[in-house]
Amino acid sequence: MPATVVLGSQWGDEGKGKLVDRIAEKASWVARFQGGNNAGHTVVLGERVLKFHLLPSGITREDCALVLGDGMVVDPWVLDRELNDWVENGGDEPRGKRIFISSRAHIILPYHTYLDGLDKKIGTTGRGIGPAYADKINRIGLRFAELDEADVEIMATRQNAALAAAGCDQRVSAEELSENLSWIQERFSNCICDTGILLDNALKLGERIVLEGAQGCLLDIDQGTYPYVTSSVTSRGNAGHGAGIHPGHIDTVIGITKAYITRVGNGAMPTELYDADGEHMGSVGHEFGTTTGRPRRCGWFDLVVMRHAQRVNGFTEIALTKLDVLGGLDLLKICVGYELDGKEIHEMPATASALARCKPIYIEMPGFAQLSTAEWLGVASKCNADNIGFKGLPTPAQQYIKTLEGLIGVTISSVGVGPDRDATIDRV
């Protein structure tokens, strides 16, 4: 069977973890293919709220194998804490059984977090992601494959020189590095392997694979709102490559988008709201970063962003999330274009300065009533049980979905109306 890719189509935080958790029920493998613990995926199972940064969201399905792929940068200490938390809260021990770390993935070391902590411009998570990717591109990074080949003396000298040049007071020692690498081998040696071969063999056996993206298209290092982006390729083109399989295996590409839009960190967001509507989205949607806890900036749905994401990724279907958050707003707006320096445009400008000058052009639609979380869950349950799909939603909500679908030009296959796994309505 082919592979399914789940990608963020905005600035991240769209709800990828919830969707991956749902579709992993019918998958044998879930693989991350880029990023590191700068990602934050949340899965809600009734009263239980699970937050993952490195662990693929398929961990909730005990028959599902997990891969940290070739294109990732992995902080072993964060991974160890996540695994320990998972086990201590009643989960199975996946080490040596169903979690596999690519031997080609790069390792985030304390030095990388020291450097990343100096950032004052981009608004990074400070988790060492950018410096680890920089070492990868400079061909001086450390991969899991080379753990027992590392020259810690050379590494310490080079890292301390870089720290000094960056104005950082922290230093590392060869002895400390040696201890760190020994610890990593001790904790993860039974997980490290050529994961691309595992996934390729699984596909040959007809098993379903889900490739789980992190961040979103607008944070892609090439296609995003540079320089306010992450340090990896977050889009479809890297899904197979970062997992170690060829793109011909992929037949389904699901783009996740909120019914509005949010952003964490610095950089322009043309539809950002500074009024009661924005406050409503932030409070009702509990818009705080899973990784950093920072408040997310909120704004109206941006078709220009979505058009760009669709061109880059070629989504075969759209999963719309957090429609419930818009409940209680009398008027809904959709940005269909920008005004830039007196001219109307409908595509993303390439520079951050141009994007900052863009003013949104809106169409307006009527809103719908606000319901409680339990009421929305009841709506979703009834829609699915009665096999009526979106027809069980309030009429203005149906109109909003239909309008978005027409503007995007891609079928909306599901609509999320709450954080719970079951608060999702499937199209019929």
Asked if residue 160 lies in contact with residue 172, where contact means CB atoms within 8 angstroms, the answer is: yes
Tokens of 252: 């389904």
Which residue type is seen at 216? Answer: G
Name the residues annotated as catalytic: 13, 41
Task: Find the angle CA(338)-CA(342)-CA(348) to the nearest 5 degrees.
Answer: 30
**Domain extents for the chain?**
105-193, 257-426
At 242, phi and psi to the nearest 5?
Answer: -70, -15
Give the pLDDT of residue 291. 65
Three-state SS across the chain?
CCEEEEEECCCCCCCHHHHHHHHHHHCCEEEECCECCCCCEEEEECCEEEEECCCCHHHHCCCCEEEECCCEEECHHHHHHHHHHHHHCCCCCCECCCEEEECCCEECCHHHHHHHCCCCCCCCCCCCHHHHHHHHHCCCCCEHHHHHHCCHHHHHHHHHHHHHHCCCCCCCCHHHHHHHHHHHHHHHCCCEECHHHHHHHHHHCCCCEEEECCCCHHHCCCCCCCCCCCCCCCCHHHHHHHHCCCHHHEEEEEEEEECCEEECCCCCCCCECCCHHHHHHHHHCCCECCCCCCECEEECEEHHHHHHHHHHHCCCEEEEECHHHHCCCCEEEEEEEEEECCEEECCCCCCHHHHHCCEEEEEEEECCCCCCHHHHHHHHHHHHHCCCHHHHCCHHHHHHHHHHHHHHCCCEEEEECCCECCCEEECC
The neighbour count for residue 44, using CB atoms within 10 Å, is 18
Which tens digit of pLDDT belongs to each residue from 55-70? 999 998 999 999 999 9
Which residue type is seen at 82? Answer: E
At 103, phi and psi to the nearest 5?
Answer: -65, -20
Residue that the structure tokens 């990608």 belong to: 7
pLDDT tens sequence for the chain (428 residues):
689 999 999 999 899 988 999 999 999 999 999 999 987 777 777 777 888 899 999 998 999 999 999 999 999 999 999 999 999 888 899 998 999 999 999 999 999 999 988 877 777 778 999 999 999 999 999 999 999 999 999 999 999 999 999 999 999 999 999 999 999 999 999 999 999 999 999 999 999 999 999 999 999 999 999 999 999 999 999 999 999 999 999 999 999 999 999 998 899 999 999 999 999 999 999 998 766 678 899 999 999 999 999 999 999 999 999 999 999 999 999 999 999 999 999 999 999 999 999 999 999 999 999 999 999 999 999 999 999 999 999 999 999 999 999 999 999 999 999 998 899 999 99
Q: 105-193 sits in which CATH class?
A: mainly alpha
CATH number for the domain running over 257-426: 3.90.170.10
Residue that the structure tokens 């699901």 belong to: 254
Which tens digit of pLDDT belongs to each residue from 312-364? 999 999 999 999 999 999 999 999 999 999 999 999 999 999 999 999 999 99
